[in-house]
Structure 1
């Protein structure tokens, strides 16, 4: 049985991943393609499952390096099965619990505190006299490190 091959445009449309990101993921070893005689990329349909795995792992907060390492545990670069997903994602539960706790802390203090770079030194529940938080570096230093990540830069207009 022949493997159905998809163009980069088809994979992008089906997965919701931009063609530029597909090329980047390929450079990073997360997915692979074959080339036509004219050099155009062709992806096996199974790449869609790998891309779904990548997106889910990114939503958990995994880096591309961590995702590549997880995918590298699969034999012959095949897409993850339900059993693979269960095995690989079981270790991510603690990370999600930490993110949830950090978000609850943020939500509960949202009306009075941004983790210092202070909204109101007069009402500050943590108190930052003399801006002592500045000695720990830039940004809201008392905000959970999980919530201090720099958001991805958008190419949207």
Structure 2
């Protein structure tokens, strides 16, 4: 059985595609841990490359580093919180619908034959929806 190799920070950076500065930051945040030093260079177990891939996937999915760190702290490395994944997938679904509506509005505005966008009933509906979303984000207004 082959012993697991240790990698210095430069090797980890090369294998993960992340700059050494990001690796140091992730170590500061407690997301990864060096197992020692070789001279002035941090040394990591080879498993850190998989851990960094999980962090990258989490970031791409929209998880914050604190959320990712919480998942790592709460369970073994390769056991990901499935409930958190479902919640994030639901959030992304809502965001996709919102972005799709914005995309459709932009395309309509670009192709609209009305002399002015303000004369286009469809564009005016997009404007009204945007105003409703602003009001919904702010919640009820307080009066003095």
Under a length normalisation based on structure 2, what TM-score does the superposition of the two structures give? 0.69
Mapped to 2, the partners of 1:89 and 1:45 lie a distance apart of 26
Structure 1 residues without counterparts, runs of 5 or longer: 114-119, 134-140, 146-157
> Segments of 4+ in structure 1 off by > 4 A?
120-124
Report Cα offsets for 1:88-143 as digits up to 9, x if no partner: 53332212212221221221112339xxxxxx656552448xxxx7xxxxxxx85x
Give yes or no for the alignment of 1:89 onto 2:89: no
Contact 2:61 2:88 survives alignment (8 Å): yes
Distance apart, 1:50 and its partner CA: 0.9
Mapped to 1, the partners of 2:127 and 2:103 lie a distance apart of 19
How many residue pairs match? The answer is: 120
Contact 1:6 1:45 survives alignment (8 Å): yes
- CA RMSD in angstroms comes to 2.7
Mapped to 2, the partners of 1:30 and 1:103 lie a distance apart of 31
Cα pair distance change 1:27/1:127, threshold 3 Å: same
Mapped to 1, the partners of 2:119 and 2:45 lie a distance apart of 60
Alignment match, 2:6: 5
* Structure (1 or 2) with the larger CA radius of gyration: 2
Distance apart, 1:39 and its partner CA: 3.5
Under a length normalisation based on structure 1, what TM-score does the superposition of the two structures give? 0.64
Structure 2 residues without counterparts, runs of 5 or longer: 111-116, 138-144
Structure with the higher fraction of residues in helix conformation = 2
Distance apart, 1:37 and its partner CA: 5.6
Alignment match, 1:104: 100
Alignment match, 2:43: 42
